[in-house]
Each structure stands twice: as structure tokens, then as C-alpha cells.
Structure 1
Amino acid sequence: MDLPVLPPLDPMLAKAVAEIPAGMHYEAKWDGFRALVFRDGDEVEVASRTGKSLARYFPELLDAFRAELPGRCVLDGEIVLAHDGRLHFEELQERIHPAASRVRRLAAENPASFIAFDLLALGDASLLARPLAERRTALVAALAGAGPWVHTAPATRDRELARQWFTEFEGAGLDGIMAKPLDDPYRPGVRSMFKIKHGRTADCVVAGYRLHKDGQGVGSLLLGLHDAAGALQHVGVCASFTAARRRELAAELAPLVLADPAGHPWAAWTDGAAHEAGRMPGAPSRWSGGKDAQWVALRPERVCEVAYDHMEGTRFRHTTRFRRWRPDRSARSCDYSQLEEPVGFDLAQLLAEGVSPDR
């Protein structure tokens, strides 16, 4: 591979802010796998944010890149999996699998797409030092004939339209809004962009916890919400406590610890067959590797308020943030009905042919 920009390359990053800043370039924040794509003729490499190759997990995209990209280029963007009008991150995660036969089957059943939002090199020219405004113009021109699997990220310089997108696009599974300074060069590894994510709170039942990896106090709280049938469903975790707070939490929760978890709503997590029916707090996964997933069962009586960005199906998409205890709430009152439902938005409308990339 002989390109003016070569791997390994750290992608430019973003810092979180509460409000959409003025006077910038705005795009949707895509909920997928960040990827840098390097194409030199038939040679294609796809690098993750950490520098690992994603090429073997998305064979259909390698074909798409050869068919739809300029012959020699480097792109920054997001691998997404979309169907039924929205993004599906959990299905995207299933691609990271050691069995090539499974990857090929999933690729054929539900092909991934690539959303390009920056152009880092074209032909023999590196664009890293060029301002974003110039790189964006070059990106739109370079991908003018792309499709159906490679798309240019829709963008705007209209702050009011960005605010509208922030509300509308969540219904299609998007994660918020990105704001990028128009005069900035591409800065590998530097947090010079801004991300504005959806922020909400929910009252959840604390039904257990995992010990911290150092064995000192609570590592993460296991959160539950009641479904329509009254069953307590495991919806995610709350973590990132200081060392002192971890010890305090262990002492606060000690009176609720169940010596025998047989009657606990999640007691079946020790049964391998139960994991086939639904995800339990002790379930192993390809992401946890050899980590100890054992947990301490609590009487599901205590309620805490957590901050979260959005849901992925029936679970919190990311680790939540502890806000406060809610002694005024009963555990039984904590159900899915309290969660705000985003307004539906058809992703196909956003990526439809004929939508102007800049508005």
C-alpha cells in the first residue's frame, strides 16, 4: 500500500459539551464502529479507533469500497448496520466473531454500510493539514458517484437545523450531534471536535452489584426495570465510582445482601439455559473475555436515579451515571413506562438519494 497517509493513524476525537456551539459544521453522531478506510487500488484496510483491523468482519464492505471509492484515498467514518428505518448497534456487535462462516452469513443476511464524514487523502495528496471546509468539499466531490453502501454524512452549517436534527434523528437510532470547527486541520488523536449527546434520567432498581476488580468495594451497580408483565429485567450497569465511594456503597448495601439468592428475580443467571432466553447479569460475552462476572445479589428494594443517553432495545446503550438515591420511590414503580420514547424517524429518509450533503 502506497498512500500519502498510512496506518496506523489515530482518528480525531471529540469532547462532550452540553449545548450545540455556534458557527460550526454539524453532522449527526452515528452509532456504529468508527473506522478509517485506506484504499490503494485493490488493497483495502479498515482500521478501528484502536488501530485493530476490522476488514475480516465486514467482507461486504471491502467489495463496496473497491466499487464505490476513488482508486486511492483515505476516509474517516462510521460502519453502521441499518434496517427497518433505524440503526442496530447490537447486531453490529455480532459481527465481531472468530468464525469466518458466521461473519459471511451475517454479511449476506444484513450488509453493513459506511458513512463517510472526512477525507484524509486523495490520490497522492494528504489533506490532513487542510481546513475541514476544504476537506468537506473534496469529500462530497470524491463520493458523488458512491452508493448504495457508501454514503456521505449529511451536514449543515445551520445551528437551528442541527438542533432539529438532534431531536428528529434519535428516532432512527442516532446518538446526538457532532460540531466541528470549519477552520481546523485533521488532528489525529486530539479532541478538537465537540459531541452533544442525548441525556436523560431514569429511576432504577438496584438488584445487585459486582465487586471492583481490586476487590475493594462496589465496581458496578446492576440495574433493573419492571416490564409490562411485572418481571424485573436487567437493563444495564452504573459504574465509575471513586475508591472511597466504592467502599461506601458496599457498606450502604450490606443490609440488602442475600445470603441465599434463590428467590432473587435473576437467580437463574447461573443456569446456562437461562442465558439463551435472555441476557442475565452474570452472562459471559465475547467482550468480557475471562473477566469475573460473578455478582452479589441484593434484595431488589433500593432505587437510584441514573443518567443515561439512550436505549438499545430494552437496555441502556452505555454505562449509566449515578445521580442519587431515591428513597421516595418504590422498587415496583420503576418500569419502562418512565422512559422517554424518541419520535420515530426513518433512516432511509436521511440517506435517501437526492438529499443534499450540505444544508
Structure 2
Amino acid sequence: MSEPVKGSEKAARTSAPTIVVAGGGTAGHIEPALALADAVMRLRPDASVVALGTERGLETKLVPERGYPLELIPPVPMPRKPTPELLRLPMKVRDSVKQTRAVLAKVHADVVVGFGGYVALPAYLAARGRTPIVVHEANKQPGLANKVGARFAKRVAVAVPGTPLPGAEVVGIPLRRSITTLDRAELRAKAREHFGLDPDAPTLLVFGGSQGARTINTALSGAAKELADAGVGVLHAHGPKNTLAVQEFPGRPAYVPVPYLERMDLAYAAADVVVCRSGAMTAAEVSAVGLPAVFVPLPIGNGEQAVNAKPAVDAGAALIVDDADLTPSKVAELVVPLVTDAARVAKMSAAAVGLGHREADEVLARIVLAAAGAKVTSDD
């Protein structure tokens, strides 16, 4: 059921719209929201985009860095099992919705765009019946917040076909222009110099999401000697809360551990192959830049990360390894031969071309502006 749009829909107004994006917690929720925000500003340079978030999420760092205002609201985490916290949930929801509604009124929101997670749920409930809602779901198996929001959203956008939400329109995942326009070959020398990597060695990029992944950290660092002996350089983001001690091998390509990758575009440009989780955002970015991947799906949840990896695996652009099977010996057996096989790497990279939706950011931005009753004033 759609909610009414403020004002007349027959003639889209030309006054500057205010777009509120709700996608906090992890980079997987925040980055699509910010990619959408950037696209909105390209299409309506006079628009205002305000992000909702909580004080404990990555949005407190990522949103201000991208130049957007951030309004903090109380989080509404959803317990997975019956706990005393579950009994306090209705009160928490009510308080968060009340504060979110006040934010929407303060910024004069014309549309609320949710990307799932514990920031989206209070945003949907606060906007219901008052402000148009657009839902974006990145995974084939939608989360609770988006299942709720889709019931009364004006438009529902999804990343992949077959997502079980009412009125779903397949648009893909909004990605940063620095990713969708990335020329890896042109930036390679600069990228490797930036990270202190060998300029000529086959190079492996390793990361486990914004917070790191213990299995990936242990397996890859445990295979440092095999990687060095094969002449492979490594750029490994281990997560800001983790440490990683890696043996150095003089005369061999460097194994470079970093807590967090501020410049993912340069990280992708530096690499020949990546070992990573297969969150929806990561899988979309890796395919968009044509980077062969060894995906290690997160072994918890409803299996969505394995589903995310499947299109690239089926296309021949990626391999998949179960988390429980990723060991130093598996890295030596599977990853080292891959990253050192230039012909195979080139074939896998070519297979990634055409996967995904490179224009998803602007497609979604047009949907959002239409829901707000706003015209597009720039097509740059």
C-alpha cells in the first residue's frame, strides 16, 4: 500500500527537496546510502540530503567524511532469540520512532529512503502516513526492517531478481562513482606506491569487511611464507579492532597489514585478486571493478553471503570457499596458484564484465526524487 505524497504529484515541484537516508551500522548499509546521496546531488544540486544514524555505528565517521549532515537517533536492535531485552523492545521502538519523527519534521523531509538495519526500522515507522518511503534491499533474503518498510513504501528497489518484497523493482546496488568509473590499470602504479607494495609483483588484496574477519586474518597471515616464496605481494586490511603480526621475508614482495582501507578504489587498483567476504556491497564492488575473487561467505545469518557470491562464481569470475575450510594450507593450495597465473586472472577479470548494475545509483536517485515529487534538474 502506497502512502500519499505531500503536495500534487501531477506536476513535480521545482523547490529544493530534502532526502533523508537511513542506512547505519555497517558499511554495507552506509555506502549504498551515500552513493545514492551523491547521485541525488548530481541530479538535483540544490537538494538537501540528511543521514540518520546512531552514535555507535560507522556512520559517525563515514557520513561526515562525505560531507553530509548526520542526525543521531536511538538504535533499535532486533534480538535473534527470546531474551529479557525482547521485553523492552516495544518501549525502545516507541522512543526511537518519536525522536526520529522529530528529526523528519525538523529537516522538512520530503522522502525517507531506507537501506535496512536498525536505523531503517524507526525511520519507516516514523515516516509512515506522513512522508513517502522508498526501500532499498541489497540482499535476496530481506531483513526484518525492510520487510516492514516495504508494506507501506511508495517504491521498493532491490538488487537482485527474486527478492520477496511487494512491488520490487530490480535496480542493483548503488556504488560510488570512484568504483564504477575505476580504471585499475591506469591507477595501478600509483596505488601500489600509495600502500608500499611491490610495483611489479602479482598482488593479493585481503579484507573481511569493515571490522575484519578472524578466519580470513588467520588463514592469510598463516600462509605468508608460501605467498612470499611465490613472489606474491599482499595488502591485508585486518580490521581496526584487530592486530596482525606477519613475518617479514627480506627480498620478497611486501605483506602490508593495515587496520582499515580509507581508499578502496586504490586498494582495488593495486590488486590482481581479492580474498574477502561476500556481503552484497562487497560482491557488487568487486564485480564492478573486474577483480577476480575468492569469496569466503560469513557463516552466520540466513546464508545470504553465499547467495551474493553465486552470480560471480557462475560467471567464472570468482571462487568460493566455506569459512570452515579456509586455512593456511587452503590458501597455499588454492589462492597462491590463482594469483600467480596471469592468464587465469585475466580470464576471470573479463568474466566479471557485465555483472551487476553500474548505473544503480542514478536509477535509484530518480526513483527517490520522483517519490518526493521533485524534478531532475541536471543530467550530468
Same fold (TM over 0.5): no
When you count helix as a share of all residues, which structure comes out higher? Answer: 2
Q: TM-score, normalised by structure 2?
A: 0.31
Q: TM-score, normalised by structure 1?
A: 0.32
When you count strand as a share of all residues, which structure comes out higher? Answer: 1
